[in-house]
Structure 1
Amino acid sequence: MERDGGQHRQRASLDAQRDAWLASCGFRVLRFWDNQVMNEMAAVMEAVAEVLSAGADPPS
């Protein structure tokens, strides 16, 4: 899970490269804005739970 804030706009290119590398290793990155994590925790937790319950195969 990645939490993005105001600095994300300056780092978007680096974040995309890291996300692509993690995906190539079999990981999935979930991104949430700071204000979502701080103000909408139940929705963030629900989104994470949905991904986890999908039962994706772990990386090898």
Structure 2
Amino acid sequence: MDGRVFRARQLRRNQTDVEKLLWSRLRDRQLDGWKFRRQEPIDRFTVDFLCADAKLVIELDGGQHSVETDAERSRMIEASGYLVIRFWNNDVNDNIEGVLARILEILRADAPHPNPLPHGERE
């Protein structure tokens, strides 16, 4: 088994409480029909959440993260064609609705919906 896949599986089994909270709201296309995966390998990294249809990566940052290292990691992932957005763990814990609204704002602005409604059925 590829080391990246093995590492991703380990991370999925050992989610942080904040990852569990956000995943509980992203999984099963709950967020406006968008499909997300968690702990997904991209290049040499494993990202927290990925919406492949929108090429959107969501990363959660806690106190253990280095701003400089995270910025370099984001640049490398973005060089592969993804948009990376980051949220602090306390943002997810204290304002999950605001975090979800920001994710939706980006999804709606930057990518076609994976399951568009037929013409004439939009709100």
Q: What is the TM-score normalised by the length of structure 1?
A: 0.79
CA–CA separation in structure 2 for the residues paired with 1:2 and 1:55: 18
SS of 2:87's equivalent in the other structure is: strand
Equivalent residue pairs, number: 55
What pairs up with 1:31-50 in 2 under 5 angstroms?
A: 31-50=86-105
Cα displacement string for residues 2-43 of structure 1 (whole angstroms, at most 9, x for unaligned residues): 1111112xx222211110011111111111111110110000
CA–CA separation in structure 2 for the residues paired with 1:47 and 1:38: 15
Give the letter for the 1:32 counterpart.
F
Report the structure number with the largest CA radius of gyration.
Answer: 2
Give the letter for the 1:15 counterpart.
D
CA–CA separation in structure 1 for the residues paired with 2:67 and 2:89: 15
Task: Give the structure with the larger strand fraction.
Answer: 2
Q: What is the TM-score normalised by the length of structure 2?
A: 0.41
Partner of 2:77: 22
Q: Percent of counterpart pairs with the same letter?
A: 38
Residue segments in structure 1 that go unaligned for 5+ positions in a row: none
Partner of 2:59: 2
Task: Give the structure with the larger helix fraction.
Answer: 1
SS of 1:25's equivalent in the other structure is: coil
Give the letter for the 1:30 counterpart.
I
Aligned CA-pair RMSD: 1.5
> By how many angstroms is 1:55 displaced?
2.8
- Does 1 or 2 have the higher relative contact order (CA < 8 Å, sep 6+)? 1
CA–CA separation in structure 1 for the residues paired with 2:85 and 2:111: 14
CA–CA separation in structure 1 for the residues paired with 2:77 and 2:111: 15
